[in-house]
Each structure stands twice: as structure tokens, then as C-alpha cells.
Chain A
Amino acid sequence: MTLEVKTNNAPLMEVRNIDKSFPGVKALDDVSVKFYPGEVNAVVGENGAGKSTLMKVMVGAYKQDRGTIHFQEENVSFNHPIDAQKMGISIIYQEFNLLPERTVAQNIFLGREPSTFGVVNVRQLNKQARSVLKEIGVDTMISPTALINSLSVAEQQLVEIAKAISMDAKVLIMDEPTASLTSTEVQLLSDLISRLKEKGLAIIFISHRLAEVFEVAEKITVLKDGQYVGTAKTEEVTPEDIVYMMVGRVLDHYFPPLGSPEDFGDVVLRVEDGSNEFLSSINLELRKGEVLGISGLQGSGRTELAQALFGAEPFKSGSVELQSKTVSIKNPSWAIKQGLGFVTEDRKSEGLLLMQPIRDNILLALRSLQPLFGWIHPDGIRQSRKLVPTLGEQVDIRVDSYSKEVQDLSGGNQQKVVLSKWLASKAEIFIFDEPTRGIDVESKASVHDLIRELTIQGVAVIMISSELPEIIGMSDRIIVMRDGTIGGELPAESSEADIMLVATGQDNSNSAEPS
């Protein structure tokens, strides 16, 4: 299990003239890229640019229609992902391929358990797992016998990396590895990546976060509409250059202009001293027409705050005023009736019915307002036929039919479906939890535009985000969460440093224990 890979000037892996079509779409069109050992090559591009398809071709999950794959200068072909793995090409998907009910060791060596006559040598299994974990320097953090479901997302990712290393990976592909990590965890990951790089691995890093791409990658490869645009050396380009390559135009502003104070109206939501098992003494006000950004580290109570406001995990004490009336938000269904909309962080598990068509997803929140045994739309089905395309256009969902199942859509389009669902319910207070996680630059910009448009129409928005640029670019006011309470409030256009100081408790505002 050594990580020795010959380092020379030849590419470790290369794809040449790859074509791949799916019914109705040409996903890859004559794509050629070279990947060198000891180098991080970030592959970027909008959703639908062909990144995932290319990766799947490279690991044998898809078979290309045309073109060749070369590994260590030999022409290779894979009939099954296992062929690629055996050769040393591993991928870590965004959604981990780990069995939650099994141990770390069982997961790392699934299908490759040390055994004699079919009987697994458990001692050996755990020993080997420990040595792999040691090799990537996390043996003190993760025990081979720990169950996967007891680990954090970051730890699970380390297990995935350990699994790849145990397969003697020479090429390691990571699909959005940082999407759900906190900044300390991202640091840990990028340290690990540089160690792997030193050992001569070729690392392919897919990410939407350009800041991180610029931090970890030596080279950036851009795909657009299934075509290869180019590979640039990171030191020779700026993020703007890359964005230009990705979208084919300069995005002169990532964010729409902030609201001006005269646009802000009455207080529509006020919480005084709200507390529950996750939160304590929450005091906040939300005005009509403003975007209130909520920042904070992972686990600081950001999402819990949103869930409390939406009634999913209600406040147990304190008072909530909605449109100047004292209320208690007991459950989401009541919250929806009062005009709250909640765009969740985890679209797949909380925001969408994946196997239902777009149309029904859009109408879901609206229908929940209606009596259980009434017509499915107050004005009947005909009206909803008109409503769905109108909303679809408003949020710019790009599909040929609204009868398509949501699971077949790209991440950006899925998020737009969630948005139109709440638009349909005519919510007056929107809570966005990570509205642009895992979606591409262009969809991001249109989601941001839409959020701002909502506030111009008089909607009040609470936006939770772990991406500081998004918080800064969008928020008219910023609340920073820390240890389940509000660590501080900052004005619009505060700097990343200001926010981080409050989030980590380094500001002088109070004497909270340093974490």
C-alpha cells in the first residue's frame, strides 16, 4: 500500500477526443484533458457543462461513445467502475458511498475484505484499516470500528479518502469535496490534499467554489456545454478569467445591489428571548423588504434558528410576533398558512418530492393551504396549468416540460423549483437556508437576483449561508450566530474578517468561551 507514483513529465492519465451522448443531449463533445501526477487539477464549469459525465467516463461508470482513455501512457478501457479502481483511479462522489450502519473498516474494505475461504479476518481488517487511516494522518480521529453514522460529514469524507488510498489510488477524483464542510474542515482537507499531492497522486477536484479552487489547485480546467474550453495555470489567471471561461461572458457583478434603507418597511417578524434545546435568548427583528443574512460556523445554530422560525423545531420559550401579533409557531403547516416559506438546505431530503413532476412540486405548498378534501386548486386544474409556467418563467427553470420528474433536473433547476413552490404560496417571509449550495455560477446569480426581486416586491427574507461572500453580497443586515445564540449583529457590507471575528468569539462584545 505505498503511494509511490513515478513523477515525470508524462501525464498520469489522459482522455482524448471523448464524446458521450444521452438521449437528446450531447454531454461531452470531443473533450481532451491531461492530468499530471503530483498536481491538483480543478475541473470547473456550470451545471450541465459535462464535468460529472467526464468523471464518470474516467472511472468507468459510463462508457464513452468515442475517444480513448490513457493511463500511464497505455490505452485502457473500463467495463465497470471496479476496473478503474483496480488500476488506481478512484472517485469520491458528492453523496458519499458509505454504508451508515457498518464500521469504518468494513466500509473501507467492502468487497476486498481480508479472508480465508470466505471467512473474514476481522482482526486483520481492522488492522489494515487503522494503517490506512494512519497513512493519511487521521488514525487518532477515526477508529476503524466506529460506525459511519456516528461520524461527522468531514470524517466520513476522510473515510472515503482512506478507502481510495487503500485501493492504491494514483488518480483521485473529488466531486465537490468541500460542499458541506466548515472552514476548519476545509483546511484539514486541503492539508491532506497537499500531502497526497506530494506522494505523487494526480488529484482532480470538482468545485463550484472558485476561492477554494484557487487555493488548492495548480491547474484549472474549464468545461462549457460539454466542450473543453481550456486548462489554465492557477498562478496565471484570476477568478474573473475563469468565470469568463465558464459562462462565456464577464459577470460584472455576482450580486444585485443591496436594498436602500428607505425601502425597508415595518417589522414583520420579531423574536424576543426565544429559546429551545438548541438555541438560547434569540432576539431579532425582520423588516419588510430587507435581506437579513445569518452567518456563523457549522453547528452554531444557523439552521436551528431557521427551523425554530418555521416551526420545525419550535421555540419553547420567549415570544414571537408576526405582523405585530404575538403568535407561537408550532409547526410548519401553520407557518405556511401565516405566509412563511422555507427553502431548505437539503433540497433532496427536505425540499422536493423527487419522483413527482415539477408541476406538483411547485403546487405543493399552495395545496397545503387548501382544505384536505377540496379541489386541488381554488380555481381548478386549468388555473394551475397557467400558474406553473408563469412561476417557472419567473424563476427561469429551464426544462422542456413541467411533467418531468424533479430527480432528473440539475441542482440549479431543482433549487428553482423549490423557489417557485414558495412563490406559489405567496409567502411574505422567506427563509433561505443555503440557497445556492452546490449549484453553478449562473444559477447562483439568478437565485440571488430572484431573492432581491422578492424584497423589492415587499417580501422579507432571512438568508442563512455558510458562504461569506454570499452573506456579504446579499445581506442588508447580518446576524452572526455563535453557540446557539446571536453572537452579534453587523451592518451591510461588513468584511469577512468582521464576521469571522464574531463567529469565532474573538470580538470583544462579550465573554463567551473561546471554542
Chain B
Amino acid sequence: MTTGTISAKNLKQAVQAIHIPPVYYFLVIITLVGITLDQLFAKGNILSNPVIMTNILVRSVALGIVAVGQSFVMIGAAIDLSVAFTISLTAVLASQLMQGDPARVPMAILIVFGIGIVIGVANGLIVTKLNVNPFIATLGTGLIIKGILNGTFANYKGSVPKSFQSFGYDSLGPIPISILVLLVVVIIGWFILSRTKFGAHLYGVGGSREIGRLSGLRTARIVTGAFIISSLTAVLSGLFIVSRLGSGAPWVGPDGVYDLESIAATVIGGTALAGGRGGVFGTLAGVLMFGVIDTVFNQLGVDTYLKTVLRGAIIILAVASYSIRSGREAA
């Protein structure tokens, strides 16, 4: 079987077996276009610069972590719009609780993750027990969090201790800790989705609630589990953001558009809006694509508004290319 030459057919089968999400081809294209633009307009100074490359990755971390959670929810045929406000809540509460004191860090982390679980459970129960459409349910919980935040905190409050900022700024050897954290989150996400019963059941429930029910899956628990994972990733993103900023503010989540961008990255990554299909590696590529686009555009000094327009166009183009490839609606 493993003799020297690899025929084209074998290679094709191998590629199919690994199941590379189509978004990776797109990521390669975007990167190539980025390199070309870079060569033409910036003499190759952007993407060859390790500082800028690291920056692309670090910028991708906050979105990447929360998008992994969003992928879970979307594979379960739901959507989580509350993540942006969960991120804000985490950022504000973490800095408020830590008060710059390293001794308070573990307590603060425990509390914010606890709150994340509460938000996830609430979203899950509203969707599965009250039968509220996930879009509306999480819009509602998001607004509730937003109202509480805005009513309680008007501006930056408290701060995180220097030691906590190492999450955002320090490196382990050449690799920033934050990127390691993102990779770990992606790998855990992949493992849960493709190797655990919970993952298999999530695909089942997402593919068809009815099939899940008839197969004896605990559909409500599974969907709620996905929402909890989503909220937990939002909390982790929030912690990363506050470690970068040093102090939390109520607008950090919505300003980063983490709700819609995590959905966009997930969809670009090949996860179906209708659920039942997709995975976190695709989502990671979607996030990296955003990272590359943003960095190249920023460094080239592309107008902010034009940048937004181009981003929108690229999202549509990416998803349209899948649906043309597969001859059906991709998202």
C-alpha cells in the first residue's frame, strides 16, 4: 500500500479523507493577494515583518476564541448574538474584581467563568424550554446584559494586574501565549466535535432536531451545552481583551462586532447556518482570513469605510464560491 509513488487518485483520496474545508483554499488566495499587494505597494514590508505577522495572529485571537464557541452553537442549528455583551461584561467585571491585585486574579477568573456558564445556561433554557428562536433569545439576553452594564459602569473601571497582562503580551519562546491559547481552544473544540459523543450528538441535533429526538438524544441538554461553550469562549475572549487593554469598558464587545464577526467567520469556515455541518478548523481559517485582510488593509492605509465594504464583499464572495462549487446553498 505504501509504495513509493503516489498517484493523483490516491492524493485526491487522501485530501478528501483529511477533508480540508474549502475556506483554506480561500485563505491561501487571500494571503497570495495580500502578498502581491504587499509587494506592489509596500515593497514586501508588511507580511515579511514578524511583528506584523504576530500582530495578525494576536488580532485573530479574540475573534478566534469566541468564533470557536459560535461554531458549536451554529453546528447545533442555533446562533448566539449575546457573545459581544458577554465579552464586555467579562472585561468590565474582571478588571473591577481584580483591582490590579494579582492575588484576586483566580477569584475573578472563577467568577467570570461562572457568570459565563449562567449566561450559557440561560440562553440554552430560553431556546430549548421556552422555545424562543435562538436569534431572538440571544438578542434578548444580549440586550439585558448590555442594559445592566451600561447602567452600572459608564467607563473603564478597575484594572488588571501586570501579571495578568502576560496573557495578552508575553510569549513562550517565540510564540505569544495568546496564540497558544487560541490553538488549544481550537484543538479542544475539534476534539469535542469530532471525537466525543457530545460532538456527534450536536451534529445530530443540528442536522435535524427530530432525528435527534427519535434517536433518543437529549436535544435540550445538547443545545444548552453548545450555548454554555459559546459563553465560556466569550468569557475567555473577554479576558484576553482586558489583558491587552489593562482595563475593561462596556463597549469593548460591541465595538469589536464580535457577535456578527464570529458568525461570519464561522460561516466562511464552512459551517452551515442551518446547522449539522462544519467544524472549528474551517472557522479558524475564516478568522485568519479576516486577520490577513485587516492587517494588509491597515498597513496599506486603505480607507476605513472602503475597508468595511471590501470585507463585506469578501464574505459574500467566499460563501458564494462554496455554493457554486457544491451546487447548493452553502450557508
Chain A residues near B (Cβ < 8 Å): 61, 80-82, 85, 97-102, 106, 110-113, 115, 118-120, 122
Contact = CB atoms under 8 A, between A and B. Distances in A.
A98 B200 CA distance: 13
28 contacts: A61-B214, A81-B214, A97-B211, A97-B215, A99-B203, A99-B204, A99-B276, A101-B207, A101-B276, A102-B207, A102-B276, A106-B203, A110-B201, A110-B204, A110-B211, A110-B217, A111-B201, A111-B215, A111-B216, A111-B217, A112-B215, A113-B197, A115-B196, A119-B195, A120-B197, A120-B199, A120-B200, A122-B195
Interface in B51-95: none
A99 B207 contact: yes
A248 to B, nearest CB: 34
B208 A115 contact: no
Contacts of B216: 80-82, 85, 111
Nearest to A97: B211
Interface in B245-286: 272, 276-277
Nearest to B198: A118
B210 interface: yes
Interface string B186-226: 00000000011111110110011011111111000000000
B204 A102 contact: yes
Contacts of B212: 110-111
Q: Which of A80, A110, A112 has the largest count of B CB atoms less than 10 A from its CB?
A: A110
A43 B320 CA distance: 47
B197 A99 contact: no
A81 B208 CA distance: 16
A56 to B, nearest CB: 11
B195 A100 contact: no
A97 B203 contact: no
A100 B213 CA distance: 16
B195 to A, nearest CB: 6
4 A-B pairs with least C-beta separation: A82-B216, A99-B207, A111-B215, A101-B277
Contacts of B198: 118
B211 A99 contact: yes
Contacts of A80: 216
Contacts of B203: 99, 101-102, 106
Interface of B: 195-201, 203-204, 207-208, 210-217, 272, 276-277
B200 A113 contact: yes
Contacts of A120: 195-197, 199-200
Nearest to B278: A101
A120 to B, nearest CB: 6
Contacts of A102: 203-204, 207, 276
A101 B216 CA distance: 19
B197 A118 contact: yes
A97 B214 contact: yes
B122 to A, nearest CB: 24
Given A97-B214, A99-B207, A102-B207, A115 B276 contact: no
A61 B215 CA distance: 12
A111 B214 CA distance: 10
A358 to B, nearest CB: 25
A110 B200 contact: yes
A100 B207 contact: yes
Nearest to A145: B17
Contacts of B197: 113, 115, 118-120
Contacts of B277: 101
Nearest to B203: A102
A60 B68 CA distance: 37
Nearest to A99: B207
Contacts of A113: 197, 200
Contacts of B196: 115, 118-120
Contact of B208 (A99, A106, A118): A99
A89 B213 CA distance: 16
A98 B211 contact: yes
B195 A110 contact: no
Contacts of B200: 106, 110, 113, 120
A100 B207 CA distance: 8
Contacts of A106: 200, 203
A430 B196 CA distance: 52
Contacts of B195: 119-120, 122
A82 B211 CA distance: 11
A174 B210 CA distance: 18
A101 B197 CA distance: 16
B204 A97 contact: no
B162 to A, nearest CB: 39
A106 B216 CA distance: 14
